[in-house]
Structure 1
Amino acid sequence: MKLKPTLLLTLALGSVAGLFAQQPSNPQIYGPVELPKTLIVDSTDVNKKAYSNTLLLNAALTLPNRKGEAVIPDENGYFRIPKLTANNGNNSMAVYSFDFISETYSTGELNLYGKGRYALYIDNKFIKSIEKTDAKADSVAILSHPLTLTPGKKIIAVKAIILPKDSVEAQFKILYLKKGQKTEEALAEQKTLSKEKYLTLEYMMNGKFISSVETSPNGNYTLLRYMVKNKAKTDYYTQLRNQKGEILRDDNFLNDSHWLKHAPSTLYKIKTEGKRNMLVIQDIPEGKENVLVADLPEKSFVISPKMDALYYYKEEKGPKKDKKVIRHLDPDDRQPNWRNRSSIYKYDIGTGISTPVTFGYHSVSIMDIHDNGNKLLLGIYKRDWTKFPFYRTSIMEYTASNGAVDTLLSEQFGIDAAYYVPEADKILIFGSANAFNGIGKDLAKDMPANDYDKQMFLYNKQKKQAIPLTKHFNPAVQFGQFDYKNNSYVFLAENGSRKSLYRLDFKTNKISQIETKEDVVRNFSVSRINGSVWYIGQSTKNADRAYRIEKNKTHMVWDLSAEKLKGIKVSECKDWNYTSEDGTVIEGWYFLPPNFDPNKKYPLLVYYYGGTSPTQRTMEGAYSLPMFAAQGYVVYTLNPSGTTGYGQEFAARHLNAWGTRTASDIIEATKAFAANHSFVNAKKIGCFGASYGGFMTQYIQTRTDIFAAAISHAGISSISNYWGSGYWGIGYNSVAAYKSYPWNNPDLYVKHSPLFNADKIHTPLLLLHGSVDTNVPTAESVNMYNALKTLGRTVEFIEFTGQDHFILEHDRKISWTNTMFAWFAKWLQDNPKWWDDLYPSISL
């Protein structure tokens, strides 16, 4: 095979396929190719150095986006560099690439033996080079470099330069010597490491992800939006596809564009020229652009269905805080921009005149605009810390033509959103079962509902009455869109560990499930005119796929998963439910490690949240369970009592419990799982969770010693401190600690706080926290760390600077994830090397 010299200038490291593979087909060669002679302009460079072949060896390397030719070493393990038949007296180059895949952490050394001029590259980075054409002996490496392997892949490339005058045949072999071992292994014939690729941290943090889907009102076209991660860089782009899923366009106009709701297929977006923001529309498929508004007053707006006006929000800055001395006006005054308020203005597109629609101290939001363009539903939100529930909503109907206002609901609690039902004098309202004096409750009379378990109501404007639509519907409602053709509302709901699509028929007020091909529908869009539904989703063994449903038939339009998972083995997933003593079924499922052997014993990881949304059956994510399983664990997860998506009674168990029933479910289910699966090593069980799940990690250790290691990310150790110090502590506890406070229910705040039971914790505990966490203050981990250190218990506290509730910055996220991997490897796999290398012992 011969490559063009111009292409050689961009040769680099390519895909990772399996440096530990036993098959010799994994090593690949690019070249050899002829190198044109370098034009020597001067005898030396700016640093007085003469020209050397080192420049060729050390130059940047980037393999083309395709596979090279498979190459096999000789019987002694050497790769022999082929010579070009005729090179016109020029130098030539060949590049060999190897894929190194590891399930576990290890350190060792790469050793290159042979004759010739070589340069070594690891993960696109130049490491070192050697220009000696003759080897001293086969047992002496001409080039060595230390190599640290974490679960995942390394790409090793060896660049060889051949000069016309060389009389010695260039040949090399590259071996890996793992620390603590005496025998090296050839990269092309590894026997101790996996020959297959598994899910890794690198996979989770890089690559393409479908972020959303938006179909045109006539259903003929759809926008598929993507997020592409490449290390610390994240890019976004949008594709326009037809009904068959074929790509029609992929250009800049599509980015940040949306469909006009009341036009068949017209896009709109904001374009910026200098200091002006223009509202531009584009008809599809013609593609002609028109400027609808030449100079937008604000960038946050809603377009009237008649396209004759914009309604926009204008923020009014509140009183500034003194930079040295701050008087707090409210428990929420610590939050950025809390003092600011927003009003609604109307911008007349025909005249360019703006007029205020609302004025006052309280912020007002537009909930919906009627199809006639003349009626608006406005939401006014008030808060009173002395009156429970603290947050109340008023809904007013505003008539744009004359400014008339009709108050539909006044200071009701438990209401989140409201929408006009098409061609009806009714409003679809989202909220808690506690709303409307509890008419939507399916609970005992004295049992309050979990406000996070969302319900739907149909409100009659004339009668000013609401009827519950989901009272006996177990899934928790998320969001939806109207289907005008079928007089229905298509919505997404938490269906236990799944997210499913449902249809509300306004003729009967009955709900039916829409069949989907994935466990978790992540996003969807409905055509208002023809009723087709597009959705994206994933399951436990696949990444994102896009589908179209039309006339009750489902068509896959884009299988991104097949592209991403090519050559990757995903862990097997199985269901396993636990039945508690009272007969409650706790849904759970587990992942097996790759190349699972039922006759072996494996450490077990248990993941949970519990506060109060369900863990979902997805493959990807920061806590990807198959990613953890790929490191040699059985990974079990469950949705314990208090989780939404399983009915009102199950969700209501979250109230005034702070872990009581939830911890029992987790502990007993874990015991039963280990007892019922002979391949689990019951002495090597770890657990982990974040936020409320981090609280559960700490709390569970105060009630059992069955775990050999535990991880709490952003966990709550003192409920009272979280209640008072977290930005949303009071609000969240108005549900989790319903009507309970430190002064009227001290047992809940003290006996359920891990900090006040720290002496009962004996499990090695890792505490992780962002240094600027505003949700769960960092002090929650500090307090528990200090307590356990005082008690002489095994505890580590790792703080990530500049990070909030989630660890998002690229390098810190890698460190955060590797810290969890290393902690479990230390305590569950008896491999402390990774942890010790990350955090070496320091005596002070």
Structure 2
Amino acid sequence: MKFKSAVTLLFSAIATQLSAAPIDSQHIQFIGPIGQNIQTKPHHTGHQTAIVNTLVSKLSENNSSLEVFGEEIKWQPLSDVNALTMGGLQALKLEFSATRFVQGKLNLTGIEKAHVFLNGQQLEGKESYSLNAVTGDHQLLIVAEQVSDWKKVVIDYTPNAEHDTLVFTQKSTKALSAKQLFDSPTISAISLSPDANYYVATKQQYQDNKGNSALRDTVLYNEDGEVVYRLNGVNANGVSWREDSKAVIFVQNNQLKTLDIKTLKETVIAEDLTGASGFKFFDNNTLIFSWTKTAPKGDKIVKHYKGLEDRWSYARNISQVYLMDISTGLIQAVTEHDLSHSLEDFDAKNKRILATRSPQHYDAPYHGITELVEFDLTNNSSKVLGQYGTFNDARYGNDGIYVTAGAEFGNGAGRTLAQGVLANNYDTQLFWMNTQGKEIKALSKQFDPSIDSFKVLNNGDLVLRATDEDRKKLYLFDESKNKFKPLKTKLDVVERYSVADKRSPIIIATGTTASTPQKLVQLSAKSNRASTLWDSKPLAYKNAEIAALEEFNFTNSAGTEIKGRVYIPHGLDKNKKHPALIYYYGGTSPVSRGFTGRYPFNFWATNGYVVYVLQPSGATGFGQEFSAKHVNDWGNRAADDIIEGTNAFLSAYQFVDKDRLGNLGASYGGFMTMTLATKTDMFSASISHAGISNLTSYWGHGWWGYLYSSEASKHSYPWNNSKLYSQQSPVFNADKVKTPLLLVHGDADVNVPVGESHIMYTALKMLNQDVELIEYKGADHQIFARDRRFQWWDTMLAYFDKHLKDEPQWWQHMYGK
């Protein structure tokens, strides 16, 4: 870590008195006068807040100067300012670091009219301002409207306690911040033209004055990256290309439109198609789309359930597939049924459409079926190609249909497991079947990655995205050779991709690595070399301090290699002992290597925690034998892997303090946290987010509990395997819990109902155990909204700081003593 200068703020000689200490003016940057001819100050107008906030966004940037009304003014140390008074506005900037959560008072003397901002958020006060700063680097910005004598301006800081010290710095690098990780620009949707000459991208970012609303900009670019056209209010996901790349279709302001790429002329086709979505060109003259009819609200007093699916809020809505004539707007129904149909694929040349529907079916082992139906537009007929217990997607190939599904598809055609071993059908395989649905071939039996999605090329080959261990990678499947070729995107996690089906396919993709933020890349399947079209790093992470990443694998007691990785905080002193966080999922998918996300490992490392992420037995992406270990496990092998992995981690990383370990997980990972609390006391603090405490109540109450359990608890039910449903439920072992536990849950969670946390909270309270419950009002299974995300991240770190660093002040500031 390089410092141009670093000065710790010292207090008065008697530290216990905690008196105010003036901040050295050399550590305060000054700029002004800003608009020296301004006679009417912001507070004399009716738009003071808007004027000041607009200026603050520019002053916050790390530039050496500012151009105002054509005049350049530079930042300088406040100690160099000799003027008594000056016109216009002035601004002061202080940058400091905090090695822990700090609290104190910022006091201003000599500034009659000031606006104070901490990291862009305005602080309340007049001459004294409460300062609460979390671990990391911070910026204080003061906009002065009225100062009588700059020689009398003093800024001092009074800490609440001895440990509430600030370190004023001019570092060349900056610690990652929560706002940086959430607010920075990203590409949220892309669509590449079939000829690869154009692409549409939606960029989004957040800023303080917009709150939870993202700023989005959707732009049509040419192959040189030049802006061709802006599609305001449109998402690139909703932009579909004509096969000849001469036009696109999209919905804007409730109008269905086409855009001619050559003339850039927009044409409205139809309006007010409420419930319609997924518009695509069926051919040059026709569109294909889905149209949903919302069910009537029904009786206000009672609801008579029509089946297990009826708990889903959308279950009674009916979606069907339609065609629309572009020139007249005439609409023709393709599917009509009392069941909804989902469009899978279409073949305009042969006038065929593939769709799926799901009749009620509760028989074991799947407790649900999918019917694949083909509709022939030449004679308006349809035929059911098959009924399947495991099914994901279907697409037309040259001489058949590609299907992704679990290994049990086609009477177990994809299985590579020993007889009697139950497959995990969340581990998705690739199949081919003929157009009659009778002949089925497994194509990926020797391919360990689990297939997420795929695009069929004109020659019958595929471009597909697959979960490959803890990565999301792109592959080219050669149909003639039945081989999978990795595409070198230079990304660990491909988030989204779009394909142009030229002689050699062209692909654009967005994604990250574990240690680098999002990029947009392009590559040809033939050359297999990626070039960068857009990179967020120089825009938002230019001088960011990123954790060092190390791969860490071990072999468990069952002889299986368990993969993992370790994030080591930037500039960590390995001669000292440090706290660590252990993160896992334990369910049917691995913890991906995304740079950021709901659980931001790089951010945790910024806050001083060594982070160990491991992939317990049962995850997909490691092969069928590995994923099959998830079935009917419910915390046995997975918990052993986490305990053994943590011990191996401690042996390998001697600078980690074994007495300051925290663990956390969400959903199935939240269940694992509760389970671990009943099996070991090796952790000093634990967090379960949206975890399952009672397998029976989750199975019967969660919207999809019974469906998930058809794999996780295959052939097991409360009446035939009460040991699994009771003794492997954490609440039935609550008396064994000794570790402080924080339960976090959204009170509108339909996946894992909030009662799962309430059950465990009740048990542990009655057992007089250290337990906390935080509920997020109106939140579902995940925390998405910006304000809640920041509060949630703070809650987790404050809880661990309290228990692993003996620093309870942050938690007390948020939730009281």
TM-score (norm 2): 0.89
1:448-472 deviations in Å (ceiling 9; x for gaps): 2111111110112268301001111
Indicate conservation of the 8 Å contact 1:430/1:454, yes or no: yes
Q: What residue is the counterpart of 1:148 in the other structure? A: 132
1:96 alignment partner, one of 92, 111, 114: 92
Q: Secondary structure at the match of 2:206?
A: strand
1:108 alignment partner, one of 104, 107, 132: 104
What is the CA–CA distance in structure 2 between the aligned matches of 1:244 and 1:80, rounded to whole Å? 48
The CA deviation at 1:162 is 7.0
Does 2:204 align with 1:227? yes
1:641-668 deviations in Å (ceiling 9; x for gaps): 0100000110111101101111110110
Note closer, same or farther for the CA distance 1:625–1:352 as it changes in structure 2 (3 Å cut).
Answer: closer
Q: What residue is the counterpart of 1:447 in the other structure? A: 421
1:323-368 deviations in Å (ceiling 9; x for gaps): 2122222122222131233333443445654443333322222211
1:487-534 deviations in Å (ceiling 9; x for gaps): 421100001011111111122222111122111111111102351111
The aligned runs of 1:93-242 (5 Å cut-off) are 93-112=89-108, 117=112, 119-123=114-118, 124=120, 143-160=127-144, 170-181=151-162, 188=168, 196-230=173-207, 231-242=211-222
Note closer, same or farther for the CA distance 1:221–1:183 as it changes in structure 2 (3 Å cut).
Answer: closer
Aligned partner of 1:147: which letter? L
Note closer, same or farther for the CA distance 1:799–1:161 as it changes in structure 2 (3 Å cut).
Answer: closer
Aligned residues: 780
What is the CA–CA distance in structure 1 between the aligned matches of 2:274 and 2:679, rounded to whole Å? 59
What is the CA–CA distance in structure 2 between the aligned matches of 1:347 and 1:180, rounded to whole Å? 70
Does 2:55 align with 1:79? no
Indicate conservation of the 8 Å contact 2:6/2:168, yes or no: yes
Does 2:429 align with 1:434? no
> Unaligned 5+ residue runs, structure 1?
1-16, 41-50, 131-142
Q: What residue is the counterpart of 2:810 in the other structure? A: 834
The CA deviation at 1:689 is 0.5
Q: Secondary structure at the match of 1:382?
A: coil
2:435 alignment partner, one of 439, 442, 461: 461
Q: Secondary structure at the match of 1:731?
A: helix
1:233-271 deviations in Å (ceiling 9; x for gaps): 212222223334344444427645523241224211124
The CA deviation at 1:153 is 4.9
Aligned partner of 2:52: which letter? A
Indicate conservation of the 8 Å contact 2:312/2:703, yes or no: yes
What is the CA–CA distance in structure 2 between the aligned matches of 1:328 and 1:184, rounded to whole Å? 60
Aligned partner of 1:288: which letter? K
What is the CA–CA distance in structure 1 between the aligned matches of 2:25 and 2:40, rounded to whole Å? 39
Q: What residue is the counterpart of 2:666 in the other structure? A: 690
Note closer, same or farther for the CA distance 1:304–1:813 as it changes in structure 2 (3 Å cut).
Answer: closer
Does 2:640 align with 1:664? yes
Note closer, same or farther for the CA distance 1:397–1:761 as it changes in structure 2 (3 Å cut).
Answer: same
Q: What residue is the counterpart of 1:12 in the other structure? A: none
Q: What residue is the counterpart of 2:17 in the other structure? A: none
Note closer, same or farther for the CA distance 1:698–1:528 as it changes in structure 2 (3 Å cut).
Answer: same
The aligned runs of 1:468-479 (5 Å cut-off) are 468-479=442-453
What is the CA–CA distance in structure 2 between the aligned matches of 1:245 and 1:594, rounded to whole Å? 35
Does 2:225 align with 1:245? yes
Q: What residue is the counterpart of 2:680 in the other structure? A: 704
Indicate conservation of the 8 Å contact 2:33/2:87, yes or no: no
Q: Secondary structure at the match of 1:583?
A: coil
Q: What residue is the counterpart of 2:486 in the other structure? A: 513
1:392-416 deviations in Å (ceiling 9; x for gaps): 222222211211334322x222122
Q: What residue is the counterpart of 2:243 in the other structure? A: 262
The CA deviation at 1:315 is 3.8
Q: What residue is the counterpart of 2:277 in the other structure? A: 300
Indicate conservation of the 8 Å contact 1:27/1:188, yes or no: no
What is the CA–CA distance in structure 1 between the aligned matches of 2:710 and 2:45, rounded to whole Å? 72
Q: What residue is the counterpart of 2:382 in the other structure? A: 405
Aligned partner of 2:610: which letter? V
Does 2:762 align with 1:786? yes
Query: After alignment, is 243-252 or 560-569 more displaced?
Result: 243-252
Query: After alignment, is 277-286 or 293-302 more displaced?
Result: 293-302
Indicate conservation of the 8 Å contact 2:26/2:79, yes or no: no
Identity of aligned residues (%): 33
What is the CA–CA distance in structure 2 between the aligned matches of 1:432 and 1:821, rounded to whole Å? 38
What is the CA–CA distance in structure 2 between the aligned matches of 1:37 and 1:395, rounded to whole Å? 71
Aligned partner of 2:215: which letter? D
Indicate conservation of the 8 Å contact 1:19/1:195, yes or no: no
Indicate conservation of the 8 Å contact 1:58/1:119, yes or no: no
Q: What residue is the counterpart of 1:620 in the other structure? A: 596
Aligned partner of 1:122: which letter? F
Q: What residue is the counterpart of 1:282 in the other structure? A: 259
1:547 alignment partner, one of 521, 533, 537: 521
What is the CA–CA distance in structure 2 between the aligned matches of 1:60 and 1:473, rounded to whole Å? 58
The CA deviation at 1:483 is 3.1
Aligned partner of 1:720: which letter? T
Note closer, same or farther for the CA distance 1:117–1:394 as it changes in structure 2 (3 Å cut).
Answer: closer
Indicate conservation of the 8 Å contact 1:109/1:146, yes or no: yes
What is the CA–CA distance in structure 2 between the aligned matches of 1:211 and 1:21, rounded to whole Å? 42
Aligned partner of 2:32: which letter? G
What is the CA–CA distance in structure 2 between the aligned matches of 1:266 and 1:53, rounded to whole Å? 49
The CA deviation at 1:68 is 4.2
Aligned partner of 2:354: which letter? L
Does 2:675 align with 1:674? no
Aligned partner of 1:342: which letter? S
Aligned partner of 2:429: which letter? Q
Indicate conservation of the 8 Å contact 1:27/1:98, yes or no: yes
Q: Secondary structure at the match of 1:453?
A: coil
Indicate conservation of the 8 Å contact 1:20/1:100, yes or no: no
Q: What residue is the counterpart of 1:763 in the other structure? A: 739
Aligned partner of 2:481: which letter? T
The CA deviation at 1:299 is 2.4
1:60 alignment partner, one of 43, 52, 56: 52
Q: What residue is the counterpart of 2:495 in the other structure? A: 522
Indicate conservation of the 8 Å contact 2:102/2:165, yes or no: no
The CA deviation at 1:195 is 7.4
Aligned partner of 2:266: which letter? E
The CA deviation at 1:802 is 1.4
Query: After alignment, is 23-32 or 354-363 more displaced?
Result: 23-32
Q: Secondary structure at the match of 1:60?
A: helix
Q: What residue is the counterpart of 2:393 in the other structure? A: 417
1:500 alignment partner, one of 452, 458, 473: 473
The CA deviation at 1:202 is 1.9
The CA deviation at 1:232 is 2.1
Indicate conservation of the 8 Å contact 2:240/2:279, yes or no: no
What is the CA–CA distance in structure 2 between the aligned matches of 1:37 and 1:556, rounded to whole Å? 45
Indicate conservation of the 8 Å contact 1:122/1:154, yes or no: no
What is the CA–CA distance in structure 1 between the aligned matches of 2:408 and 2:103, rounded to whole Å? 58
What is the CA–CA distance in structure 2 between the aligned matches of 1:466 and 1:726, rounded to whole Å? 34
Indicate conservation of the 8 Å contact 2:136/2:607, yes or no: no
Q: What residue is the counterpart of 2:13 in the other structure? A: none
Does 2:353 align with 1:357? no
Indicate conservation of the 8 Å contact 2:123/2:130, yes or no: no
Note closer, same or farther for the CA distance 1:350–1:116 as it changes in structure 2 (3 Å cut).
Answer: closer
> Unaligned 5+ residue runs, structure 2?
10-23, 66-73
Query: After alignment, is 737-746 or 327-336 more displaced?
Result: 327-336
The CA deviation at 1:101 is 3.7
Structure ID, larger Rg:
1
The aligned runs of 1:706-745 (5 Å cut-off) are 706-745=682-721
Indicate conservation of the 8 Å contact 2:374/2:385, yes or no: yes
Aligned partner of 1:119: which letter? A
Note closer, same or farther for the CA distance 1:746–1:267 as it changes in structure 2 (3 Å cut).
Answer: same
